[in-house]
Amino acid sequence: MSAETNTPSYVVSDRNLALELVRVTEAAAVASARWTGRGKKNDADGAAVEAMRKAFDTVAIDGTVVIGEGEMDEAPMLYIGEKVGAGGPAMDIAVDPLEGTNLCAKDMPNAITVVALAERGNFLHAPDVYMDKLIVGAGLPDDVIDLDASIGENLRNLAKARGRHIGDITLCALERERHEELIAKTREAGARVRLISDGDVAAGIAACLETSSVDIYAGSGGAPEGVLAAAAVRCMGGQMQARLMFEDDAQRERAQKMNPNKQPDRKLGLHDLASGDVLFSATGVTTGFLLKGVKRMPHRSVTHSLVMRSKSGTLRFIEGYHNYNTKTWSVS
Ligand SMILES: O=P(O)(O)OC[C@H]1O[C@](O)(COP(=O)(O)O)[C@@H](O)[C@@H]1O
């Protein structure tokens, strides 16, 4: 904290920090793009993890990974609890070095690399379970979505609040057997359904972008991805509700242990998932809803990233040209 202004110290240099963050997601995207379309999702993921971990070495923070690649004994790098950064303000870090490993392996739309930062204690420590999610964009009354209401009711409320016919509302969901009822009920209510095979962080962001054709994201996906989506939704002024889905008591107890002051079973609001001043960066690996994928050329790669901050609500799309001969991180 600065004693004079009562301002957290990282705020002073937050503009630089946002730019440092984009380097982290760019590095992971360029590394994983070497594996695009090669059918090897683990190699693509491994390349992204390694490049992202290395890129964090230059970021001026005292970072702790709270959403990462799993527990210390499961993942060699970017595991939960790992310390990263070159030193600076104490920050919690949420990462998904390659969100949509299959999308990258199959060269399908919407594989992205993702990082979010907040001052310590501001992200839900999400265990590796499913999370039920409901996301809409900005400019709507506070109570427009409710995870406990039927999907039909949510769609009708959204259409009314947007001043649109329900037939012009598009809901996006992962194409999974577990979503058959959600999909059927959405169509029954008169709305459209956009199905995706993977990548619900990008889909959640799309629900908040006025320029996208997605109006609402619904359904269950990874809980860690839910926290990353929440970080983005905070920056974009959207709304999100969620609930962790436990298969047994052991999962529930684990979530409770990870978040001693929260009740893991309850409906979570946006600020339960990501609070405080949040910085978010994502870089496209394959071209999708939001971002162009990495373009590989003989001597350099071009990346397309989205960088946002909740305090200012500014969204920036950044195009980076990375020269293979001069980069400190490996891009070959
Ligand atoms: O495939 P499942 O088990 O339905 O899980 C859904 C989750 O998997 C993803 O589609 C992709 O995750 P990976 O990048 O780990 O492969 C996420 O976007 C989503 O939250």
Q: Classify the phi-psi angles of 313: left when phi > 0, otherwise alpha if psi is within -120 to 50, otherwise beta.
A: left
Helix ranges (DSSP H) in 237-317: 249-258, 270-273
- Residue 194 is inside which H or E element, if any? strand 192-196
Nearest atom in ligand 1 to 102's CA: 16
Binding residues for Mn(2+) are 45, 69, 96, 99, 225
Q: What is the pLDDT of residue 50?
A: 96
Q: Over pLDDT 70: what percentage of the chain?
A: 94
Nearest atom in ligand 1 to 197's CA: 10
Q: Binning pLDDT at 50, 70 and 90, where does residue 248 land?
A: very high
Distance, CA of 195 to CA of 108 (rounded, Å): 13
Residue 130 CA to ligand 1 centre (angstroms): 9
Q: What is the pLDDT of residue 72?
A: 76
pLDDT digits (tens, 9 = 90+) for 3-23: 444 545 444 456 678 888 999
Q: Binning pLDDT at 50, 70 and 90, where does residue 112 land?
A: very high
Residue 201 CA to ligand 1 centre (angstroms): 9
Mean pLDDT to the nearest integer, 240-261 = 93
Mean pLDDT to the nearest integer, 161-189 = 98
Residue 331 has pLDDT above 60, yes or no: no
Are 173 and 197 in contact, with CB atoms under 8 Å apart?
Answer: no
Q: What is the pLDDT of residue 1?
A: 45
Q: What is the pLDDT of residue 13?
A: 57
Residue 174 CA to ligand 1 centre (angstroms): 9
**Nearest residue to 214 via CA among 224, 203, 225:** 203
Q: Binning pLDDT at 50, 70 and 90, where does residue 327 land?
A: low
Are 53 and 93 in contact, with CB atoms under 8 Å apart?
Answer: no
- CA-angle at 282, arms to 281 and 287, nearest 5°: 155
pLDDT digits (tens, 9 = 90+) for 48-69: 999 999 999 999 999 999 999 9
Residue 101 CA to ligand 1 centre (angstroms): 8
Nearest atom in ligand 1 to 99's CA: 14
